[in-house]
Structure 1
Amino acid sequence: MKHASPLLSRLLALALLAGAIAVLALVIVLPVMAKVRDTRDQLAHSRDMVQRLSLRSPDRLVYEERIAALADRIADSDLYIRGETGPLAAAAVQQHVKETVAGHGGGLRSVQSLETVEEDGLTRIGVKVVLNTAHDDFVEVLHALETGKPYLFVDRLDISTAAGGRAAARDGAELALAVELEVHGYLSPEVSP
């Protein structure tokens, strides 16, 4: 086997040394550098987030104050039925319907509470009403129920002539109606800021 010249041996040794350094750089130094770069990027991102969130803190307080004000307005509003519980609210609706029917010349035969139902975060309170009234008076009752406060809605309306109503109408009296309907409204929602 021939020995290589001293110059060639030195060049080969330098090439091996350069290769070993390159392997060490690839295996050790470059991953550490990448980790340091990632950490710097994460730190910069975190600083940006802290700065953005600290800028939004005053906005958050404004929004919380607005939500609290809206919650107070809803609680004080007369658009919703008052009552601590479903049965108390149903009693309030019954009383309101009784007063409305009596105030417009109608006669209430029965009022029955319906089951409370949760709908879209609100509690629906309803009553079933059976009454006798004249045609024109009934129009006024419906108008008063649906346009007054608290907001009430009329469903399942069944109208027929009252016993002897047609005969009375032929004699010139106003047509008497027997009416069954359901009236419902909603309890004031619980709003928390």
Structure 2
Amino acid sequence: MIRAERDRWLALALLLAVLGLVCVLLVRPLFGLPLQQAEARIDDLQQRDARLRSLMAQRPQIERRLAELDARGGGPDFLVEPTAELATAALIQQLETVVADASPGSRGCALVNRTPLSDVNQAGRFRRVAVQVRLRCGNGETLAVLHALESARPYLFVDALGITAQRYFAVPGSAQPQEGGLDVSFNLYGYLRPSAGGPRGR
């Protein structure tokens, strides 16, 4: 009688052990891990929601800043000329000045070509004024020109930059070609001031 009762308790213990093992091997992977992943996803969405709410709270300040820039005609970061033609001429003149400053007397740098480029997105609020440029310069002069253009205000941008090393390059006013140097081509552009109260570009 005592042995039979002991066997029942042992069988019950074995059953509980098997059920526990089944729970560990099946129930937890099927239900526990997805719940943990769902909780992690919820935490991530809550953090993202908090960041978005913080950005939305800054909307009035951004709108006031944009209104101030519109009232000032777009701020100091845009080209000051009222038309694309005048801005293109000023851009070319600024380019010639930068090259002359980097190489006085054109001894180490020559401006080979500067061709105005038409803006393919004239319908947008921000109109781009661009010039296609080709230079033949020494290494130091090339760095000086690019640095001066990209650090200028109003902001100017250099795009489609191509640099080819040359063994010799000719400098205007010099009978002998200089050894070494670079053949540099790029597009230089800036933006006209947007018209106040116009539709915002997207």
TM-score by length of 2: 0.53
1:97 corresponds in structure 2 to: 95
Q: 1:133 to 1:192 in 2, by over 3 A?
A: same
Are 2:115 and 1:116 aligned? no
Q: 1:66 to 1:182 in 2, by over 3 A?
A: closer
Deviations for 1:25-60, whole angstroms, at most 9, x for unmatched residues? xxxxxxxxxxxxxxxxxxxxxxxxxxxxxxxxxxxx
Deviations for 1:85-138, whole angstroms, at most 9, x for unmatched residues? 211111111111111111111221111100024375200110001111110111
1:70 corresponds in structure 2 to: 69
Distance 1:130 1:102 in 2: 14
In the alignment of these two chains, the number of paired residues is 123
2:151 corresponds in structure 1 to: 147
Counterpart code for 2:181: A
Q: 1:131 to 1:65 in 2, by over 3 A?
A: closer
| Greater share of residues in helix | 1
Tell me the SS of whatever aligns to 1:87. Answer: helix
Q: 1:177 to 1:189 in 2, by over 3 A?
A: same
1:134 corresponds in structure 2 to: 138
Distance 1:84 1:74 in 2: 10
Percent identity between the aligned chains? Answer: 34
**CA RMSD of superposed structures (Å):** 2.7
Question: Residue 174 of structure 1: CA displacement?
Answer: 7.2
Counterpart code for 2:89: A
Which structure has the bigger radius of gyration?
A: 1
5+ unaligned residues in a row in structure 2: which ranges?
A: 1-62, 104-108, 170-177
Q: Runs of 4+ in structure 1 displaced over 3 angstroms?
A: 64-69
